[in-house]
Amino acid sequence: MKTVSIIGGGLAGLSLGASLAKRQVPVKVYEAGTYPRHRVCGEFISGIDPETLTNLGIATELSDAQKHTSGEWYRQGRKILSMELPVAALAISRWTLDQRLSQRVEELGGQVITGERTEVNHNAGIVLAHGRPSEKSTWLGLKCHVRHFPLTSGLEMHLGNNGYIGLTPIEDGRVNLCGLFAIDEECRGKGSQRLISYLKAGGHLELVERLKRADIDETSFTGVSALKLGWQPHQPGTLVLGDAGFIIPPFTGNGMSMAFESAAIAAEPLSAWSRGKASWEDTAAGVMRQQHKAFRRRLHAALALQKLLLSSRGQDFFELLSRSHLLPFKSLLSLVR
Ligand SMILES: Cc1cc2nc3c(=O)[nH]c(=O)nc-3n(C[C@H](O)[C@H](O)[C@H](O)COP(=O)(O)OP(=O)(O)OC[C@H]3O[C@@H](n4cnc5c(N)ncnc54)[C@H](O)[C@@H]3O)c2cc1C
């Protein structure tokens, strides 16, 4: 059997690694960093079908994740919407999850090679799961964990005039704060001070006051400015999964689910290729086609909705609909799933 080499040990790469190892396919996952490590991520997994996790062989790794079914939306401290999710979202830190998944790949007989930034190449048998491209964008993602920060629901989503931030309870009494902001050179500071500076500029004064009473874990603070949303360019004949192929706006809480779903789409065709039952060209083209079909609608819808949520007029409209009980929340949610 031929070996599948996966470049990138995030959620797409590790869940594919586990799924292939479960099928006895020789698999190597190359990860530039080491585990555990913090990632810029809202740590709120919404829209994943539990069966997908079981089929990938990683359901146990998520079994103790916090389950959230309710959330609240705020606009600069003013509550504008209470939401109920039809299926519980799973909340768990990337610190814990990615480490567990890498251990799972090894338990199942796969190899995880850490601390090696592999050259991205397009040869047969190489799967690209290296996450967001490194080119700079106009967006900045910032995240940190805090303790002693009471929340009244499983998600607080705060809209501001420079982006948005989501807060969700995760394990060990921690709350994850993660925001997407338009880059502003005036917002400076080290670690969480930078986040606070963006929150002040966005008009989240009530949130800033609450943060003053909380314990911020500075070691968990991370930031990223390479965030080109939407489909990512790739060479024909390459097999690309997760954020390396497509980046959905974070407010949907669906990017991690898409990483798992893309691994689920690729597992069986890659297993057939490893057994010599399909050419690489057909395998790669088939997987890319299936991902396009599965993700096209939600990506377009999410990009359009994000535009609305980021503009002041769009937020006025969103708030007005919500206050008049005319916001079709369930229909909007289904568009981005
Ligand atoms: C601000 C923000 C908030 C978000 N919030 C949420 C949320 O609440 N819910 C949600 O579902 N999604 C959220 N997302 C999206 C989610 O984080 C991503 O969709 C998900 O991490 C994609 O997984 P991935 O495996 O494709 O990429 P990643 O998790 O980025 O993993 C890629 C891995 O590849 C490694 N790598 C890169 N280059 C190389 C190389 N050359 N060689 C070896 N290794 C390499 C990296 O070190 C990394 O570990 C958010 C994103 C942002 C930016």
Query: Taking the alpha carbons of 288, 293, 299, 300 in that order, is the dihedral positive or negative?
Result: positive
Domain segments of the chain: what residues?
4-134+228-335
Using a pLDDT cut of 90, give the percent of the chain over it: 86
Alpha helices (H) in the chain, listed in sequence order: 11-22, 50-56, 94-107, 192-201, 205-212, 255-274, 280-310, 312-323, 329-335
What pLDDT sits at residue 57?
Answer: 98
CA–CA distance, 199 with 311 (Å, rounded to integer): 17
> What CATH number is given for 4-134+228-335 in this structure?
3.50.50.60
Q: The whole model's pTM is what?
A: 0.97
Stretches where the chain sits below pLDDT 50 are none
Span from the CA of 197 to the centroid of ligand 1 (angstroms): 24
Alpha-carbon separation of residue 101 from 1, 176, 319 (angstroms): 24, 20, 40
What pLDDT sits at residue 329?
Answer: 86
Minimal-distance CA residue to ligand 1 atom 30: 131
pLDDT tens-digit map of 210-267: 999 999 999 999 999 877 888 998 888 899 999 999 999 999 999 999 999 999 999 9
Q: Is the CB of 259 under 6 A from ligand 1?
A: yes
CA–CA distance, 192 with 286 (Å, rounded to integer): 44
Q: Is the CB of 13 under 6 A from ligand 1?
A: yes
Q: Note whether 81 and 153 are within 8 A (CB).
A: no
What pLDDT sits at residue 83?
Answer: 93
CA–CA distance, 236 with 196 (Å, rounded to integer): 43
What pLDDT sits at residue 326?
Answer: 86
pLDDT tens-digit map of 116-151: 899 888 899 999 999 998 888 899 999 999 999 999
